[in-house]
Chains A and B, each alone.
Chain A
């Protein structure tokens, strides 16, 4: 099983600041990594797939990068609606696995 480790667990930032979230895989997942956003009381929403492809209607301030074992989700300038929990997920090997999440909170 591929273990995904997200860091930090919590990121405290102010609106307008840049957020950098990390996801590290226990073995290579090539570029088969996605990022999801989950707000309180809501289902997750897919933001980025195949490491760097943004889903339609996701704002350009969200970007993904990386390959192999190290991946980054960057939010260039935080909007109030971006404060949420973010999860990474790999599809390289069954079982499909998620990281433990990074909470982006308002400082």
Chain B
């Protein structure tokens, strides 16, 4: 069974940094693109970033480009997102999601909440 477990969320001040992790199990991790998708409180879904199985192709939403960095460690079956220069509008539940076929998301982890506030 595929499992995705996010961690690393919490309260951070504006301008601060946070690194989220997503530990994966139940599939051959290096064979799949991995994604981060976020959801602000009471709002809809926003794709954040995608990294290919080998880590050589990376894509970002314009809203996070230059501030967030996605990476993966295939030996540890873990994908990360380093979030710098955080803003109030980055407050959201951050989900990691496994690639399904091509650029669909399934399944998703349970999410980790990031709150940016002073």
B61 at the interface (CB under 8 A from A): yes
A87 to B47, CA, bound (A): 12
Task: Report how many residues on chain B are interfacial, defined by Cβ distance under 8 Å.
Answer: 21
**Given A94-B59, A95-B61, A95-B62: A87 in contact with B106 (beta carbons within 8 A):** no
Please report whether the interface of chain A is mostly helix, strand, loop or mixed according to DSSP.
loop
Instruction: Give the interface SS of chain B, mostly helix, strand, loop or mixed.
Output: strand
Closest Cβ of chain B to A103, distance in Å, is: 11
Count, A-B residue pairs, CB within 8 A:
56
Contact with A along B14-51 (1 / 0, CB 8 A): 00000000000000000000000000000011110010
**Interface members, chain A 72-95 (any B CB < 8 Å):** 87, 89, 91, 94-95
Instruction: Flag if A43 contacts B104 (CB, 8 Å).
Output: no
Max chain A C-beta neighbours (<10 A), residue from B45, B102, B110: B45
Contact residues in A for B45 (Cβ distance below 8 Å)? 36, 38, 44, 87, 89, 98, 101
